[in-house]
A and B are shown apart, each in its own frame.
Chain A
Amino acid sequence: MKELSLNILDIAQNSIKADAQHLTIALVRRGSWLTVTISDDGSGMSPEFAAEAANPFTTTRTTRTVGMGLPLFKLAAEQTGGTFSIESRRASRDGDAHGTTITASFDTGHVDCEPLGDIASTVVTLIQGNPELSLTYLYSTEQGETRLSTDEMREILGDGVSLDHPEVLAWAREFLEGEA
Chain B
Amino acid sequence: MKSLQELAEIREKMKGKVALREGQNGIRVVVGMATCGIAAGARPVLNTLVEEVEKQGLSEKATVSQTGCIGICRLEPIVEVFEPGKEKVTYVKMTPEKAKQVVSEHIKGGRPVYEYTIGEK
Contacts and interface: CB of A to CB of B under 8 A. Distances in A.
Nearest to A1: B39
B38 A10 contact: yes
A124 to B, nearest CB: 7
The B contact surface, by secondary structure, is helix
Nearest to B67: A129
A31 interface: no
Interface stretch (A43-51, A80-88, A150-158): A150-158
Given A1-B38, A125-B43, A175-B2, A157 B69 contact: no
A93 interface: no
A6 to B, nearest CB: 5
Given A64-B73, A166-B59, A171-B6, A69 B35 contact: yes
Contacts of A72: 35, 39
A157 B10 contact: yes
Interface string A121-156: 110110011000000000000000000000011001
Contact of B66 (A63, A129, A157, A165): A129
A10 B39 CA distance: 9
Given A63-B69, A64-B73, A168 B1 contact: no
Contacts of A17: 68
A118 B10 CA distance: 24
> Chain A interface residue count: which class?
35 or more
Contacts of A178: 1-2
A168 B10 contact: yes
A152 B3 CA distance: 12
B44 A10 contact: no
B4 A166 contact: no
Contact of B54 (A158, A166, A174): A166
A132 B33 CA distance: 18
Contacts of A161: 10-11, 14
14 contacts: A6-B43, A10-B35, A10-B39, A63-B71, A125-B33, A125-B46, A128-B50, A157-B7, A158-B11, A162-B21, A167-B13, A168-B7, A175-B1, A175-B3
